[in-house]
Every structure is written in C-alpha cells, then in structure tokens.
Amino acid sequence: MKNIVLVLGVFLLNSCAAISENVALYPIYKSYISSLDGKKYEQSFGILSNRNQNDLLKSSSIKQFSNHYPVLSSLNTVLLKEIEHFENINSKNGCLTVNGLDSSKEPTSINLEFIKENNKWKLDYTQIMYHGSNKDFPIIATCPARL
Amino acid sequence: MTNRVQVRITIAKLIELAYSKDKGLTTKIVLSKGNFKLKVSPNSHATLSSSTGILTFRGDSALTALGAKIKNVSISFTAGEDNNFNYIAMFSFSGAASISLSGSLNMEKLITSCSGLLCQAARLLQRRNKQNKAREMELQRIMGY
C-alpha cells in the first residue's frame, strides 16, 4: 500500500511538472502581443532571441523595430479571435501554436519557436499560416517551417 | 501589415508577371494539367516550372506590396478539377518570420482575364499607376474575395 502511494505521489509530481512546463510559452506570447498593442517596442525587443536582437542592432535601433520586423511587429493584428493554443517544450527549444480567426474570419494559425537563452524563453522565429479551411488547423504544437 | 488578401494578390501578380514575360510558355506550364512550381530567390529571380518547361523572370515588382523584404518564395500548385489548382505558398522574410497560405484558384480564369484588356495591368505593375488599384480588386475577386 505504501509503495502504491509512493508511485502515485511520484506520478502526480511528474504530472504537475509537465503542466507547469506546458504553460510557459503562452504567457510570453501574450506579453509580446501586449507590448505590440502598446507599441512598447523595447519590451517586444527584450522578448526576442539574441540572434534577432543583434540582427536589428547591427543595422538599426529599437526605434526602428516595426520597420525592421514588419511581420513580427504586426503579430498583434493577425488573430482577431483566438480559439485555442498548444505548446511543446524540449530542453533547448519550445514551440507554441495559436489557432484563431483573422480579419476575414478565416482560419489562421501563428506558430512560434522559442529558444532558451540565459534560462529564459526567447522568441526566435514565427510563421503565420493562413489556412484554406478549419480542418487545416494544427491540433498539436507545430514549430514554424523555415524556407 | 501583410495579410491574407495581400499574399493572395501577390501570388496572382507573380503568375501575371510570368505571363507578361512569356505568354505561350506560361500558358503551357499552368494549363498542362500537371503540377507546377513558382519560386523566387533572395535576389528576386523567379522561376515557373513544370515537366513542360521552365521560365525565369524578375519577381520584384510583384513582391513590393507585401511591404517586407522577402528572402524566398516557394509555391506548389497541384492540379484539381476544372482548371482549379490547389496551392501551398510559403513566403520567407528576412526578419525571423514566414507566412504560409493554402488555397485554390481557377488558373484558366486568371489567364483568360490576363489575355485581354486586363493583362495590360500586369505590364503596368512596374509603373504603379492608378490602374493597379483596379487590377488588385480584380485579382481579389479571382482569388476568392
């Protein structure tokens, strides 16, 4: 009986850890979207990975955030209505998929890839997917495709 | 802001540019009942290809409306019924982002609209005159809006 309780306890602890890890990316996404809504680009900039930060700074400044990143800086206008989200986290990277409807009320997803830098999740790459129908919605976290 | 409609129009404009470059070969490629691909490289060299042939042209003027620097474009067209083609398009931008779009379009309708008066708009793309707006409306209609 003692063993069963112990096994159950370990199982519950693992489950809690998984749940805790699985909610790590969405709040960062929401924080990023909120920074774009308020045009607080310094905050948006801080959420980007070092690679992206350096890419902006080598040719420009944070004031030019929206010009340098026309797609990344307009993510807040892509989904007019959010439906669901999924995330999947590994030790080095994590992917978040947010499904919803765009301004034409058509199915659209945003796939975001985060990488861990200095123990924090940073946004490294984004893909906007304009779907042909609702059945094209991803049903699991999908890392953005890169050409 | 790049949105679904602008991406759709860009696809149609790329086909129009191909058509304005070589009407005969473009028609052969897109109406050959087979699958074909449209690609644009970082230096804006575009290729339209199928088993029928390959056409190269400059794609810059079609891409300007997206308002972001394009790294690569890859669009795969798969033949459906009644000259309808399903496509999956992927636009990769410099700046850690890409946009993908799937949909379908009637290629015959697009080419037919381009073979008459409306095709002039394709040649006028580079001149950015008032007709561009009207042509965009026409393309929106063809692409399903």
Residue carrying the six token digits 């008032």: B130
Q: How far apart are CA B3 and CA A52, in angstroms?
A: 23
The DSSP 8-state label assigned to residue B13 in this structure reads H
CB contact under 8 A, A128 and B95: no
CB contact under 8 A, A130 and B98: no
A114 touches chain B (CB under 8 A): no
Predicted local confidence at residue B30, as pLDDT? 84
Predicted local confidence at residue A11, as pLDDT? 44
Least confident of A83-97, A117-131, B118-132: B118-132
Higher pLDDT: A47 or A16? It is: A47
| Average pLDDT rounded to a whole number, residues A2-8 | 48
Higher pLDDT: A20 or A108? It is: A108
pLDDT in tens, B14-61: 998 998 889 889 988 987 778 999 999 988 899 999 998 999 999 988
Q: How far apart are CA B111 and CA B77, in angstroms?
A: 15
pLDDT in tens, B52-109: 899 999 998 888 877 778 889 999 999 888 778 899 999 998 889 999 999 888 877 7
Q: B-chain residues within 8 Å CB-CB of A52? A: 95-96
Share of chain A above pLDDT 70, in %: 84
The first and second tokens of residue B132, run together, are 């561009």
Give residue A15's pLDDT band: very low, low, confident or very high (50, 70, 90): very low
Q: Which of B5, B67, B92 sits opposite A70 (nearest CB)?
A: B67
Predicted local confidence at residue B33, as pLDDT? 73
CA-angle at B92, arms to B39 and B12, nearest 5°: 50
CB contact under 8 A, A103 and B3: yes
Chain A closest-CA separation from residue B18 CA (Å): 22
Provide the β-strand partners of residue A87: A96
A54 touches chain B (CB under 8 A): no
Long-range contacts of the stretch A40-49 (C-beta < 8 A, 24+): A41/A65, A41/A66, A41/A73, A44/A72, A44/A73, A47/A122, A47/A123, A48/A72, A48/A122, A48/A123, A48/A124, A48/B96, A49/A114, A49/A115, A49/A117, A49/A122, A49/A123, A49/A124
CA–CA distances in Å: residue B136 to residues A60, B90, B125 = 33, 21, 10
Q: B-chain residues within 8 Å CB-CB of A58? A: none
pTM as predicted: 0.80
What number of CA atoms fall less than 13 Å from residue A147's CA on the CB side?
22
Across the beta sheet with A120-130, what order do the strands follow?
A: A81-89, A93-101, A107-117, A120-130, B97-106, B84-93, B70-79, B36-40, B45-49, B54-58
CB contact under 8 A, B72 and A147: yes
Predicted local confidence at residue A121, as pLDDT? 96
Share of chain A above pLDDT 90, in %: 74
Among B78, B99, B73, which Cα is nearest to B33's?
B78
pLDDT in tens, A20-47: 344 589 999 999 999 999 999 999 999 9
> Nearest-CA residue of chain B relative to A72?
B97
CB contact under 8 A, B93 and A128: no
Predicted local confidence at residue A8, as pLDDT? 45
Q: Find which of A5-9, A109-113, A117-121 is predicted with most confidence, using mean pLDDT.
A: A109-113
Residue A14 has pLDDT above 50, yes or no: no
Predicted local confidence at residue A21, as pLDDT? 42
User: Hey, which bits of chain A come out as E strands?
Assistant: 81-89, 93-101, 107-117, 120-130
User: Hey, which bits of A10-119 come out as E strands?
Assistant: 81-89, 93-101, 107-117
> Nearest-CA residue of chain B relative to A145?
B98
Burial (0-12, 13-18, 19+ Cβ within 10 Å), B8: buried
Give residue A19's pLDDT band: very low, low, confident or very high (50, 70, 90): very low
What number of CA atoms fall less than 13 Å from residue B51's CA on the CB side?
5
Residue carrying the six token digits 């679904």: B4
